[in-house]
Amino acid sequence: MFLPITSNSRKRPAPFRARRGFTLIELLVALLLLDVGLLGLVGFATSLYRDGNDTRATARAWAIAAARLERMASVACDGPFAGSATSGGVSEWFTEALGPNETRLLADSVRIATSRGVRFASLRTSARC
């Protein structure tokens, strides 16, 4: 059933509503906060990269020292000696001294320069003659 449209049944226009959306000031503040966050993220990534390089250099120093000690332990006893080696920014000092009960004391120190300073690795062990 259809009802005739009368002047009383027509809808009146809704009262004025506030516009939806963002103002230019709100968008600028949001962009500023985003920029500050991104700059902080870039700074954090740079710090992680530097720390990673230092960690790799320190691990390299430990590996060089361990390899030298393994080589020294694998050769026969020749008596006490000391030596040094330098190559590619890496300096190394190593010694062998006679110990008690037919053993020898082996020591190796490695120095590597990094972007944040100098890193040292020192290892000492004993080996049978």
Number of domains in the chain: 1
Share of the chain above pLDDT 70, in %: 85
Range of the domain at 70: 24-128
Position 28 in a domain: yes
Local confidence band at 114 (pLDDT 50, 70, 90 cut-offs): confident
- Examine residue 40 and state whether it is found in any structural domain, yes or no: yes
In a domain, 85, yes or no: yes
The pLDDT score that the predictor gives to residue 107 is 95
CA distances from 44 to 13, 39, 41, 48, 57 (A): 55, 9, 5, 6, 20
DSSP one-letter string for 63-109: HHHHHHHHHHHHSPP---EEEEEEETTEEEEEEEEEETTTEEEEEEE
- pTM assigned to the model: 0.63
Q: What is the pLDDT of residues 92-105, one digit of tens each?
A: 999 999 988 889 99
| pLDDT tens for each residue of 27-69 | 999 999 999 999 999 999 999 988 888 889 889 999 999 999 9
Domain-embedded: residue 9: no
Rounded average pLDDT over 2-17:
60
Residue 17, domain member (yes or no): no
Report how far residue 85's alpha carbon sits from residue 64's, in angstroms, rounded to the nearest whole number. 11
